[in-house]
């Protein structure tokens, strides 16, 4: 028998003064009410009510139990009311982690609008390129980029993302032409530090033939925004998410190379995801923030035109 239900029935009996009165208030027959009381007494191992044909009275144990039970039920009701209020009017601290490039370029400029819309939510934002443990670090939402590993976490895809190989016009003007991926061996390839091994870029041609090309250059970093700045300065060739250099391509500050190929570090599927812990009931603040991210990505990071269109647009 549901112990919490039995406690509520007991408290209602004491407050109403009889089994029948309690039954009427909670939609239960007097016999059912009596069964709940008997089960509660059996579980406790003590009589709580003295029953007579005229009235019910509390035993000494019943007095003690009623005082505690009434207080506990009031606290539970208050807790449920508070949770319900949170769902209607979200509040509290929202701990968010994002990859550095997306965080600095897209999330930070957009956050003031979210905070203005939900003034009772406080955002605790972490920016890094580390793969974090959401449970260990108590993170509500983690924004991840690239192919996801299988896990018990929930991932909502915010948008697709392609990698673009590009360099400044000045760099390309003074360097050897690039017609096929193997030509990159003659170039200064600025790479993202994924591990301690040598960087390999993967290419897929129009027939989905895959080739892997080891690349090297004078600079390696774990900072995506810095790679973009080095490329703009004419230092070398970079492999960047399309959304991070779209304006640069449109202005002609960067030029895409090997546009007939898809290119990536590993898997060619490179979406942006909001990752959070599984739960039957997603908190309102998490739900609202994930929806906010989805709208941000829809508005700002919609899939780019095909590479050939991008090249014609830049002249």
pLDDT band at 313 (very low <50, low <70, confident <90, very high): very low
Share of the chain above pLDDT 90, in %: 29
- Checking if the pLDDT of 96 tops 60, the result is yes
Least confident of 42-56, 92-106, 251-265: 42-56
Residue 197, CA atoms < 13 Å, CB-side half-sphere: 5
- Checking if the pLDDT of 82 tops 80, the result is no
Render pLDDT for 268-277 as a digit per residue (tens, 0 to 9). Answer: 567 889 998 8
pLDDT band at 299 (very low <50, low <70, confident <90, very high): confident
Supply φ then ψ for residue 245, to 5 degrees. Answer: -130, 15
- Checking if the pLDDT of 78 tops 60, the result is yes
Q: Are 94 and 121 in contact, with CB atoms under 8 Å apart?
A: yes
DSSP collapsed to 3 states, the chain: CCHHHHHHHHHHHHHHCCHHHHHHHHCCCHHHHHHHHHHHHHHHCCCCEEECCCCEEECHHHHHHHHHHHHHHHHHHHHHHHHHHHHHCCCEEEEEEECHHHHHHHHHHHHHHHHHHCCCEEEEEEECCCCCCCCCCCCCEEEEECCCCCCCCEEEEEECCCEEEEECHHHHHHCCCCCCHHHHHHCCECEECCCCCCCEEEEECCCCCEEEEECCCCCEECCHHHHHHHHHCCCCEEEEEHHHCHHHHHHCCCEECCCCCEEECCCCCCCEEEEECCCCCCCHHHHHHHHHHHHHHHHHCCCCCCHHHHHHHHC
Residue 9 or residue 266, greater confidence: 9
Query: What domains appear along the chain, each with residue ranges and CATH number?
Result: 3-88 (1.10.10.10), 92-160+271-300 (3.40.190.10), 163-267 (3.40.190.290)
pLDDT value of residue 266: 66
Render pLDDT for 40-73 as a digit per residue (tens, 0 to 9). Answer: 888 888 898 888 766 788 888 888 898 898 888 8
Render pLDDT for 133-180 as a digit per residue (tens, 0 to 9). Answer: 888 888 999 998 876 665 778 888 888 888 899 999 999 999 999 999
pLDDT band at 97 (very low <50, low <70, confident <90, very high): very high
pLDDT value of residue 86: 58
pLDDT value of residue 1: 58
CA 128, CA 136: separation in Å to the nearest integer?
16
CA 47, CA 200: separation in Å to the nearest integer?
76
Q: Which residues contact 52 (CB under 8 A, 6 or more apart)?
A: none
Share of the chain above pLDDT 70, in %: 87
pLDDT value of residue 238: 93
* Mean confidence (pLDDT) of the chain: 83
- Which candidate, 192, 229, 212, 2, places its Cα nearest to that of 104? 229
Give pTM, 2 decimals.
Answer: 0.63
- Checking if the pLDDT of 84 tops 80, the result is no
pLDDT value of residue 85: 62
Render pLDDT for 197-253 as a digit per residue (tens, 0 to 9). Answer: 568 888 888 888 888 888 888 888 888 888 899 999 999 999 998 888 989 999 999
pLDDT band at 309 (very low <50, low <70, confident <90, very high): very low
Q: Which residues contact 9 (CB under 8 A, 6 or more apart)?
A: 22, 26, 28, 33, 36, 37, 40
């Amino acid at each position: 028998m549901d112990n919490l239900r039995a406690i509520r029935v007991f408290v209602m009996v004491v407050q109403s003064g009889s089994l029948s009165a309690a039954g009427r208030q909670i939609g239960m027959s007097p016999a059912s009410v009596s069964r709940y009381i008997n089960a509660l007494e059996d579980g406790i191992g003590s009589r709580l009510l003295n029953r007579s044909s005229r009235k019910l009275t509390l035993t000494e144990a019943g007095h003690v139990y009623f005082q505690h039970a009434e207080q506990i039920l009031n606290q539970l009701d208050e807790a449920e009311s508070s949770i319900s209020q949170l769902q209607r009017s979200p509040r509290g601290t929202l701990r968010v982690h994002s990859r550095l490039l997306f965080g600095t370029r897209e999330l930070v400029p957009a956050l003031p609008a979210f905070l203005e819309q939900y003034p009772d939510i406080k955002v605790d934002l972490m920016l890094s390129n580390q793969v974090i443990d959401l449970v260990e670090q108590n993170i509500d939402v983690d924004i991840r980029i690239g192919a996801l590993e299988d896990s018990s976490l929930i991932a909502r895809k915010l948008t697709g993302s392609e990698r673009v190989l590009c360099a400044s016009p000045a760099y390309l003007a003074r360097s050897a032409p690039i017609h096929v991926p193997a030509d990159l061996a003659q170039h200064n390839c600025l790479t993202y530090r994924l591990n301690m091994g040598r960087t390999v870029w993967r290419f897929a041609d129009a027939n989905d033939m895959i080739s892997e090309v080891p690349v090297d250059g004078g600079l390696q970093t774990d900072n995506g925004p810095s790679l973009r700045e080095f490329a703009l300065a004419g230092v070398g060739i970079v492999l960047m998410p399309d959304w991070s250099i779209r304006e640069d391509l449109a202005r002609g500050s960067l030029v895409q190379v090997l546009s007939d190929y898809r290119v990536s570090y590993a898997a060619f599927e490179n979406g942006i995801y909001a990752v959070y812990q599984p739960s039957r009931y997603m908190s309102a603040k998490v739900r609202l923030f994930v929806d906010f991210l989805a709208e941000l990505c829809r508005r700002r990071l919609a899939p780019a035109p095909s590479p050939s269109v991008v090249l014609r647009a830049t002249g």
